[in-house]
């Protein structure tokens, strides 16, 4: 009897945390990732590194570390070069950085009761600890939001 009660309580807790009966990442599909990429750089696959941000998702080294330091190649050695740049510039590797970061920080940033792609945009734009702040408060945030809205079907 105790085990069944624990399972029910865990299910209620999971629903409360994610806002649904599924994972907080259930809305992080390829279409959402494409729009997150488009919001950042127009999804420019040739975007190098500028001002400490790299690749089509404009990933910083700090973001990469917070996401678990995902590597493009298992043999990458952070003491030899900057593997975060290599991964951030590779679309498929960068998508894994984004997934890891969002999995770590996923929550309902805009308070609408659902964790969706707009929340993921807010997490990317404001950082995992400040996602509740409206993107409209900065010119860069307004630019991301406008491009994101253009991309969404």
The per-residue pLDDT for range 119-149, each reduced to its tens digit, is: 999 999 899 999 999 999 888 899 999 999 9
Within-domain flag for 20: no
Banded model confidence at residue 82, pLDDT cuts 50, 70, 90 = confident
pLDDT reading at 52 higher than 80: yes
Mean pLDDT of 93-103: 94
Within-domain flag for 18: no
Mean pLDDT of 13-23: 41
CATH code of residue 94: 1.10.530.10
pTM assigned to the model? 0.79
pLDDT reading at 59 higher than 80: yes
DSSP 111: -
The mean pLDDT of the chain is 82
Within-domain flag for 138: yes
Q: Token match 């079907």: residue?
A: 153
Banded model confidence at residue 9, pLDDT cuts 50, 70, 90 = very low
- Reduced to 3 states (helix: H, G, I; strand: E, B; else coil), residue 53 is strand
Within-domain flag for 2: no
Within-domain flag for 131: yes
Whole domain around residue 76: which residue ranges?
Answer: 26-151
Domains held by the chain: number: 1
Q: What is the pLDDT of residue 98?
A: 95
Centre a 10 Å sphere on the Cβ of residue 99 and count the other Cβ atoms it contains.
16
Banded model confidence at residue 7, pLDDT cuts 50, 70, 90 = very low
Beta-bridged to residue 60, according to DSSP, are 53
d(CA 56, CA 36): 9
């Amino acid at each position: 009897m105790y085990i069944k009660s624990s399972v029910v309580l865990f299910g209620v807790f999971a629903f409360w945390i994610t806002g649904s009966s599924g994972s907080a990442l259930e809305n992080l599909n390829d279409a959402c990732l494409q729009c997150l990429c488009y919001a950042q750089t127009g999804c420019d696959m040739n975007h190098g590194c500028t001002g400490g941000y790299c690749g089509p998702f404009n990933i910083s080294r700090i973001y990469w570390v917070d996401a678990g330091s995902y590597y493009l190649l298992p043999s990458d050695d952070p003491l030899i070069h900057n593997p975060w740049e290599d991964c951030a510039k590779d679309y498929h590797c960068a998508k894994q950085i984004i997934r890891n970061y969002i999995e770590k920080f996923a929550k309902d940033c805009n308070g609408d009761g659902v964790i969706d792609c707009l929340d993921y945009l807010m997490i990317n734009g404001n950082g995992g600890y400040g996602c509740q702040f409206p993107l409209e408060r900065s010119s860069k945030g307004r630019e991301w939001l406008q491009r994101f809205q253009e991309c969404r079907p």
